[in-house]
Amino acid sequence: MGKLASYITVENIIIAAVAIMVFVTATMFAEPLLNRSKLSERMKSIKLHREDLRRQSRSRIRNESPTSLRRTDDSLARRVVDALQLSKLLADPAVVGNLAQAGLRGPRPVNTFYFFRLVTPFVLGSVAAFYIFVLHAIKLPGATGFCAVFVAFVIGFYGPNIYISNLKTKRLEEIVSAFPDALDLLLICVEAGMSIDAAVQKVAGEVGTRSIALAEELSLLAAELSYLPDRSMAYEALAQRVPYAGLKSVTTAMTQAEKYGTPLGVALRTMAKENREMRVADAERRASALPAKLTVPMIIFFLPALFIVILGPAYLSATAPSKPSVMQPKGKT
Instruction: Tell me: pLDDT of 248 over 50.
Output: yes
Average pLDDT, integer, range 232-247: 87
Whether 156 is in a domain gets the answer yes
Same domain? 181 vs 135 = no
Same domain? 179 vs 217 = yes
Whether 217 is in a domain gets the answer yes
Same domain? 247 vs 280 = yes
pLDDT, position 45: 60
pLDDT digit string, tens, across residues 110-169: 888 888 888 888 888 888 888 878 777 667 777 788 888 888 888 888 888 898 999 999
Same domain? 132 vs 215 = no
Number of domains, the chain: 2
| Average pLDDT value over all residues in the chain | 78
pLDDT, position 322: 66
pLDDT, position 66: 42
Write down which residue in 271, 286, 301 finishes a domain: 286
- pTM of the predicted model, to two decimals? 0.67
Same domain? 233 vs 282 = yes
Whether 333 is in a domain gets the answer no
pLDDT digit string, tens, across residues 83-124: 777 777 777 777 888 888 888 877 788 888 888 888 888 888
Same domain? 135 vs 222 = no
Same domain? 202 vs 101 = no
Angstrom distance (rounded) from CA 254 to CA 235: 8
Domain of 219 in residue numbering reads as 175-286
pLDDT digit string, tens, across residues 24-66: 777 766 665 555 555 565 555 666 666 666 666 666 555 554 4
| % of the chain at pLDDT higher than 70 | 77
Same domain? 197 vs 146 = no
Name the helix (H) or strand (E) containing 229: none
Using an 8 Å Cβ cutoff, are 213 and 207 in contact? Answer: no
pLDDT digit string, tens, across residues 284-322: 888 888 888 888 888 888 888 888 888 888 878 888 776
Whether 133 is in a domain gets the answer yes
Same domain? 193 vs 228 = yes
Q: Name the burial class of residue 129, with classes exposed (0-12), middle (13-18) and buried (19+) by CB atoms within 10 angstroms of its CB.
A: middle
Helical ranges in the chain per DSSP H: 2-7, 10-34, 39-61, 76-84, 86-89, 95-101, 107-129, 142-191, 196-206, 212-227, 231-241, 245-260, 264-297, 303-319
Write down which residue in 123, 152, 170 finishes a domain: 170
Same domain? 154 vs 189 = no
Q: Which of residues 291 and 7 earns the better pLDDT score?
A: 291
Write down which residue in 249, 270, 286 finishes a domain: 286
Same domain? 181 vs 166 = no
